[in-house]
Amino acid sequence: RWTDDKINEVARRRFMGSGSAGDLDVGQALQRPILFSNWLTREYTAVGREELREHTRARLRVFYEEELDVPLVLFDDALDHALRLDRVFRQPQGHALLIGVSGGGKTTLARFVAWVNGLSVVQVKAHGGYGAADFDEDLRTVLRRSGCRGEKVCFIVDESNVLDSALVERMNTLLANAEVPGLFEGDEHAALMTACREGASRDGLMLDSGEELHKWFTQQVARNLHVVFTMNPPADGSGGLAARAATSPALFNRCVLDWFGDWSDQALFQVARELTASVDLTQLESVAGEQAGDYEERRDAVAHALVAAHQAVRGLNSQLLRRPGGGGKFVGLYCTPRHFLDQLQHF
């Protein structure tokens, strides 16, 4: 909402004059939604939300069969985020920082948009003993694939996987320079240069010196590697973001920040409406005089009731989180979209 208000404010200030014929009609020009894409046609042009939703839903069915069978409801905000990610993946050194609560669909949506753009997905699979050596090996894998082989790669990293300051520094260096100094050493560096020489030869380039091969390698990485960093909103709001920006400058300077936040009431309703569409409500006792069209209203009422229950629990949890318990500690649980999806599944 804040972004939309700022866009409108700047447009009015910069493009509205004294009433001449050339003045901008802000209400018409900035009418929401503002959606541009080339998913429906080969041209990057304005698209309607419902038309885009139907096209994306068809692509999702193929995605479920080929890649990942995880439900993804295309509510309005999800479509907006998908187009933002699409623009990021089309840019050299296009990286994204997705901030939103757990279970909000950040990773699944990133994987889907990467698939639409023909990117291979590499996702950090952290385990109990996962450490710096494992992370370095993951980095070497994505750099070989994107740099030597020319493969377009989407590297998805969650903040919980890079809590160590050394790992954060590696991510900063990768985003800023398309390389991580010292990652390849000794025999690994020699093998990397050989692979680069073969890759450059496939491109019709005859590169001999280590400096030329290194430059070609970093250019390939910049062109083909896209990093998606996912994180939860900091508990202390903007202050926490400012602190992270100070310790990880490249993460905020080199990435497009997309704020997922929490799901809106409209998003919750759209998700509830779609995921309960297969539930048979005909067994419910009919109301006297109910018409055929009232059945859809009954479905809407069920969806609204599920949303209201979730919002009530979320509101109660918010109160508990602000109330200190024993020992001055705050008590309570976070209520996230993942809990809402579990609620719908049990329903």
66-115 tens-digit pLDDT: 888 777 888 888 999 999 999 999 998 999 999 988 888 899 999 999 99
Are residue 127 and residue 249 in the same domain, yes or no? Answer: yes
Are residue 91 and residue 201 in the same domain, yes or no? Answer: yes
What 134-138 contacts at long range (C-beta under 8 Å, 24+ apart), as own/partner pairs, is: 135/161, 135/162, 135/167, 135/170, 136/170, 136/183
* Confidence band for 333, pLDDT divided at 50, 70 and 90: low
Q: How many CA atoms lie within 13 A of 178 on its CB side?
A: 18
Whether residue 112 contacts residue 63, with contact meaning beta carbons closer than 8 Å, is answered with yes
Distance CA 281, CA 258 (A): 38
Examine the fold and report which residue of 261, 277, 293 is the final residue of a domain before the chain moves on: 261
Token couple for 71: 């439900």
Examine the fold and report which residue of 261, 292, 313 is the final residue of a domain before the chain moves on: 261
**What residue numbers bound the domain in which 306 lies?**
267-346
3-state secondary structure of 61: helix
Distance CA 3, CA 276 (A): 33
Distance CA 130, CA 107 (A): 20
Q: Is residue 281 domain-resident? A: yes
Distance CA 100, CA 259 (A): 6
Looking at 141-145, 210-214, 278-282, 296-300, which range is the least confident one? 278-282
CA dihedral 15, 20, 22, 23 (to 10 degrees): 30
* Confidence band for 326, pLDDT divided at 50, 70 and 90: very low
Q: Is residue 1 domain-resident? A: no
Are residue 155 and residue 272 in the same domain, yes or no? Answer: no
Distance CA 203, CA 210 (A): 17
Are residue 253 and residue 308 in the same domain, yes or no? Answer: no
Which tens digits make up the pLDDT trace of 230-251? 988 876 555 567 777 777 777 8
Are residue 229 and residue 296 in the same domain, yes or no? Answer: no
Are residue 193 and residue 114 in the same domain, yes or no? Answer: yes
Distance CA 316, CA 67 (A): 38
Examine the fold and report which residue of 261, 289, 313 is the final residue of a domain before the chain moves on: 261
Looking at 26-35, 260-269, 315-324, which range is the least confident one? 315-324
3-state secondary structure of 277: coil
Owner of token pair 């005909």:
282
Spell out the residues 6+ positions from residue 54 whose beta carbon is closer than 8 angstroms to its own: none
Q: Which residues of 299-312 are buried (b: 16+ CB within 10 A; e: fewer)?
A: beebbeebbeebee
CB atoms within 10 A of CB 254: 19
What is the average pLDDT score of the chain? 84
pTM over 0.75? The answer is yes
Are residue 207 and residue 313 in the same domain, yes or no? Answer: no
